[in-house]
Amino acid sequence: MNRFSRNYYTFTFTAEFKYDDDMCYFSHCFPYTYSDLQEDLTKIEKDGNCQNYFYRGTLTRTLAGNKCEYLSITSKDKDPTSAKAKAKKGIFISARVHPGESNSSWMMKGLIDYLVSKTPEARALRDHFVFKIVPILNPDGVINGNYRCSLAGQDLNRRWKAPNKTLHPVNFAVKKLIRSF
């Protein structure tokens, strides 16, 4: 076999349904729903320790009126105009522009849980950086079970150059957030 040869594999299975009207869902990864995100963020918000460095806000509303949330995670400096506070670098992280990629939400959950943890490394990261995080960029797609598209039937990952404020409100708001950040 030469180095340019490729092997391709196919996974197949058969599902048998006992009743005609059964509804069945198949998933290639453990689901992570919009409701899961809300529950996880609410737990963090209620943790008294996190209130000193965790902020949860609404970036924008989606076409369906759902919240697209963003987080700010950083240590709060006593004097935000101090040289130390101004020297902090910003890090922007997002996930789920493609709603079917639930594995990215599990990675994001792990990252958020780590950044708000009590470990010395997490504390050092909060002391030196400002994290702006959009855990689910396409909430409508996630809620409605889409794999790649928004409610407008468009792949939002192809709408970054010139997002339409009405059709692509999340992309539009994220670009505005990044510019101000």
Q: Which domains does the chain have, with CATH numbers?
A: 34-180 (3.40.630.10)
Give residue 107's pLDDT. Answer: 97
pLDDT tens digits, 107-156: 999 999 999 999 999 999 999 999 999 999 999 999 999 999 999 999 99
The beta strand positions in the chain, using DSSP E, are 54-61, 67-73, 89-94, 129-134
Give residue 1's pLDDT. Answer: 52
C-beta of residue 174 within 8 angstroms of C-beta of residue 58 = no
pLDDT exceeds cutoff 90 at 26 = no
Please state the pTM of the whole predicted model: 0.84
- Angle 151-22-146 from CA coordinates, rounded to 5°: 15
pLDDT exceeds cutoff 90 at 4 = no
Average pLDDT, the chain: 92
